[in-house]
Amino acid sequence: MDTYGAPLRDMRFILDHLVGIDSIAALPGCEAAEPELVYSILEEADKFAAGVLAPINKSGDLQGCRLDGDRVVVPYGWQEAWDQFVAGGWLGLSLPEQYGGQGLPKALWAPVWEMWFSANLAFTMLPQLTLGQTEALDVAADEAMKALYLPRIVSGEWACNMSLTEPQAGSDLAAVRMRAEAAADGSYRLFGQKIFISYGDHELTDNIVHLVLARLPDAPAGIKGISLFLVPKFLVNADGSLGAKNDVRAVSLEHKMGIHGSPTCTMAYGDQGGAVGYLVGELNRGIEYMFVMMNEARFGVSLHGVALAERAYQMALRYANERSQGKVAGEAGRPIAGHPDVKRQLLAMRTRIFAMRALVYPAAAWFDQARHHPSPEAAARSRRYIDLLMPVLKGWNTETGNLVCDDAIQVFGGMGFVEETGVAQHYRDGRVTRIYEGTTGIQANDLVSRKILRENGATLRELVAEIRADVAALADVRELAGHAKALAANVDDLERATDFLLANGSSDPATVQAAAVPFLHLAGLVCAGWRVAQAARAAQGGLAAAASAGAAAATGAAGVAGVAAAAGAAGAAESAPAGAPGAGAEDAGYLRGVLALASFWFATYAPQVRGHADTVAASACVGLAPDTALWA
């Protein structure tokens, strides 16, 4: 029952109409990303996801990982999947060409990695770690370190992980105690313990590169005294060959709610004299370099929310169309998908997934524009938008993805609560996405404090102006005028809530922090609604173009033959497969489906914006509540 197929029509529609994949291919350095190549890569990635990764997802969940002496053993099938992943060139898809990658844009990366996260999140967390670590090393490492490590990392010969968290520190990196001591040869010796380290150890690759936060004994207190060190599992000789085992090991594995196929390790450094490490970049700039990795990780986690929601939805949709129970419209023996409430749940799930996808793919394109756009102003604007909305992407997408996974269990009813059907795994796997790389509360406080208050809301105002321009264009489409009105009201509420934050940020920071999560949900709904509205406008335009083409065919033909030709053109538009000439990437039925999703969004989710805005404005109630209110 738990098979997977990528939603290629949605992916292509969003790439065509919201991202503008042809405009990405026009950027300097992105010329290889021609639309037809992009679509071919998506089809091949779908085959790999469905044929290699998805079949070992459930078995990996059941087997989990184990510690056998000093060895971390991963589930059966992981090694073969990794070897195929590397051999297929998938790891280097978006990584720099100078280190052996293909350098393709992030706008393509997003749908491809969504497929892999959907198919098998626990497995795909390993290659995901390579992306942020590669970027951090590329930004901060010296040329010798880059030359020695990056080609082997990008090729998949060596793997990476990110070793940040400590037992006493949690999300408070200022409390990091991992100790680094300078050695006579210019290297360092590291001592301490890290926890919650995904793929901290395994034998899938010949070597593992740990990027570790630590501080020297005389370093400044807090985050200003933290440095970043590269600690290889096996020491590396000057020619790239491997030497002795380093003084780093996994001492235990976490017993988790989900992602059982991913080994989450407690790592000990320096138990036997000191783990050899090498400074990355400059001393005391580790937090700065860490955020290069963290932003990449947070963007990836935003895709986790979409991906697991899609996988759970596919299971629920299949089950609802196979399971017969009760009477539908007075008729027995019909699938439960026909029950109005079940259909509502399915439509709610599908709409939310479409909105998440429509939000995150154009954000991926902002990365490409920030890096490659020839206009400094356009590149800077894209970078500002990324910085502003990264907490929203990570926080709102994972919160919404969890809701979808929960709804999938509800569609199954009692069968969703038993492990045999498999849908519960996606809920269990997805639950951590709201926590790691910063909880939703941390994301929300980052959004409010660092992104909005620090610059007095300037970038948010800039984004709001862009949304309002799209509202005006939407209002010009007669069929979508109601959506334009609803979105305009949502933007008004967003501005009202923003004004509240700015008015109280200095005088009442506790209230503003209490308002942060409701504000994040508000911002997520408005930004997602903006993208849904853009999709509706594109769909309406596609239908209008098809109708015009049919009318033109009828006008240009004579007599009965002309009528037949017009009918044939309309029929072709109705039934043409994706990518067929005259139908774009979508047939008329699909486009009407997009319009239905937009209608459901503005009937169901847009009204929730007002509630979040009112909650933001009333957030002083949190501080006013006495501590006694917390105890029964």
Question: Distance between CA atoms of 440 and 443, rounded to whole angstroms?
Answer: 5
Q: DSSP label at 120? A: -
331: β partners = 328
Q: Where are the alpha helices (DSSP H) in 413-432?
A: 423-431
Residue with tokens 């950027």: 27
Q: N- to C-terminal Cα distance for the chain?
A: 44
Whether 562 and 556 have beta carbons less than 8 Å apart is answered as yes
Place of tokens 């497969």: 577
Kindly tell me the sign of the dihedral angle through the C-alpha atoms of 519, 521, 523, 529.
negative
CA gap 215, 213 in Å, rounded: 7
Task: Compute φ and ψ for 161, nearest 5 degrees.
Answer: -150, 170
Alpha-carbon distance of 176 to 197, in angstroms, equals: 15
Identify any residues that bridge with 182 across adjacent strands, giving them in sequence order.
188
Catalytic residue among 322, 437, 574, 586: 437
Distances (CA, A) of 548 to 439, 474, 585: 50, 20, 17
What is the SS3 assignment for 211? strand
| Known active-site residue 437 | yes
* Dihedral sign from CA coordinates of 77, 78, 82, 88: positive
Residues 6+ apart with CB under 8 A from 361: 11, 14, 15, 18, 19, 107, 110, 111
How many CB atoms neighbour CB 292 within 10 A? 19
Q: Position 446: which residue type?
A: D
10 Å Cβ neighbour count for 298? 22
Query: Rounded to the nearest 5 degrees, what angle is found at the Cα of 448, between the Cα atoms of 455 and 388?
Result: 65
Task: Using alpha carbons, list the distances in angstroms from residue 571 to 210, 532, 544.
Answer: 58, 27, 15
Quickly count: other Cβ atoms within 10 Å of residue 344's Cβ: 13
CB 430 within 8 A of CB 311: no
**Catalytic residue annotation:** 437
